[in-house]
Structure 1
Amino acid sequence: MDGPAIGSNFSLREEIKAYWSQRAATFDQSPGHEIFSEDERAAWHRLIVKHLGKGKGRTALDLASGTGVVSLLMDDLGFNVTGMDWAEPMLERARDKAKGRNITFRLGDAESTMEPDNHYDVIVNRHLVWTLVDPAAAFAEWLRILKPGGCILIVDGDFVNSTPLERFIQKLSNLSRRLGFAHPETMQLSQQLMKTHQSILSRVHFSGGARAEAVAELLRKAGFQNIIIDTDMRRIHRAQARHLGLWKGLARGTQHRYAIKAIKL
């Protein structure tokens, strides 16, 4: 399927929705999207419990839930989970994966959820913030639907700016392929999807990269308090590296990836 033509009447938000709808069929094939080992699952559980504690029946909203990976993790830990995504093909896969579990998946927009005020104990999302068109409005919305004392946990990264070490690793990877010592690693996107991805990335709010400090500052302005930036993602990255191939596995641990916890007082 071709992406929207340049100059079409698609809005940026509609392009983002269409892009992730197209990605749904192969989304779970990528390490870093789906979980491929019990070590990684345990590492994600550890991160969630570190910042949110055990679920104990508390209500949790997984925004941009995709194929339900994080929703399943939250359910494992005893949260009463609702997953929300605006790409129906993602939701179809999430519902299939969650059969037999008490997870609700619904179609909705993470920037305008239409959920009631003071409704959720926890909001969680993974790799959503970098795609937001208006993060200030989104954060105000998330504050509105959280209960007083409720927490948000954002897991994201700067997927624009590479570190010097990552660039060095990429050079080694390119050289290794040219010399015939390595082959392209993991699933590659089609040229059309790569072009669409780059076009979207160039126009979202964090087009220059979603740095943790910039995200935290917008959360403060929205009214969140007690903000913690956690860049210790080593356990998750080590588990993912085993399925990424040598060079991408090495690069993963050098990237600016993080979790941010914030509270509505």
Structure 2
Amino acid sequence: MNNIKEAITDRWENSANGYDTYIQGEINTFKEKGWRDLILSEFEQDKLNILDIGTGPGFFSLILSKEGHKLTGIDCSKEMIEVAKKNCKNTNSEFYVMDSHKLDFSDNSFDIIVCRNVTWTLYNPKKAYKEWTRVLKPGGKIIIFDANWYLSYFDENLRKEVEKAQVNYKNKYGTPYESCTKETPDEFYKSLPLSSKLRPNWDESYLKLLGYDNIKIDKNIIEKVYDEREMALYACTPLFKIVATKNKGEILWN
């Protein structure tokens, strides 16, 4: 378990500058508007206290703080946090290096939790989801964006589709952009607990066990936040969106 945890941190440490370059290309474009609309459409209140888990270079914190909300961003990578602080200077945001499986926040602290392309890297997703539930206020919402990034290692038909899409992309656009400066072995992706799970089905089932209700799922949001190149490359692994409301009653800690 510790080896997986260390490998995840190492990967994000080596992705900070590359991922920052990527998200800089999203700022002030249709992508920023797309992401903002996907989140803000889920609530109407002003000045919410929002936890941005796996904040990376601070993209969500930046675009949501522009709307008057208070953002707290956490990441396991010190390098990512340094970049986020720079990007979100002069905004109502604060950032901490923190393990998303063990949060240094009191119970019922946040109105909203958001995360993007984070949950696939969790070394203990059940523990993390329980912890996120603990710090979310009753009636608060968790908004998760992710994809079945490495399910192709466990699904032969999907693997063939992904490989075909990669070849077509390379023939048309060249080598895909890679934010990580360090090569990551296949064994790393295969070892992650959620790589072999069909999602968002797994997430929906476990969130119900934790006492969430009114769970809404959009299994494909790529047209709202991807450009033509990204849609060509990731058509076989579309981004999904999960929105779940923490039950105001008793939480089931199964």
Using the size of structure 2 for normalisation, the TM-score is: 0.84
Q: 1:142 to 1:188 in 2, by over 3 A?
A: closer
Aligned residues: 241
Aligned to 1:172: 168
Q: Deviations over 1:78-117 (max 9, x none)?
A: 2211001121110000000111111011121111102101
Report the Cα distance in structure 2 between the residues aligned to 1:257 and 1:234, rounded to whole angstroms.
6
Does 1:49 pair with 2:40? yes
Unaligned runs of 5+ in 1: 1-8
Paired residues of 1:54 and 1:77 also in contact (CA < 8 A): no
Measure how far apart 1:30 and its partner are: 3.1
Aligned to 1:18: 10
Q: How does 1:1-265 map to 2 (within 5 A)?
A: 11-30=3-22, 35=26, 37-51=28-42, 53-54=43-44, 56-161=46-151, 163=158, 166-173=162-169, 176=171, 183-187=174-178, 189=180, 192-195=182-185, 198-209=186-197, 211-237=199-225, 240-242=226-228, 244=229, 248-265=230-247
Q: Deviations over 1:104-152 (max 9, x none)?
A: 1112111110210111101111111111111111111111111111100
Q: In structure 2, what residue type is equivalent to 1:143?
A: T
Q: 1:77 to 1:13 in 2, by over 3 A?
A: same
SS state at 2:55 partner: coil
Report the Cα distance in structure 2 between the residues aligned to 1:36 and 1:120, rounded to whole angstroms.
25
Report the Cα distance in structure 2 between the residues aligned to 1:10 and 1:222, rounded to whole angstroms.
25
Paired residues of 1:130 and 1:209 also in contact (CA < 8 A): no
Report the Cα distance in structure 2 between the residues aligned to 1:113 and 1:28, rounded to whole angstroms.
24
Report the Cα distance in structure 2 between the residues aligned to 1:241 and 1:260, rounded to whole angstroms.
21
Report the Cα distance in structure 2 between the residues aligned to 1:34 and 1:135, rounded to whole angstroms.
30
Measure how far apart 1:249 and its partner are: 3.7
SS state at 2:71 partner: strand
SS state at 1:77 partner: coil
Unaligned runs of 5+ in 2: 153-157, 248-254
SS state at 2:142 partner: strand
SS state at 1:35 partner: coil
Q: 1:208 to 1:97 in 2, by over 3 A?
A: same
Aligned to 1:5: none
Q: Deviations over 1:227-250 (max 9, x none)?
A: 11112414434xx325x4xxx442
RMSD: 2.4
Using the size of structure 1 for normalisation, the TM-score is: 0.81
Larger Rg: 1
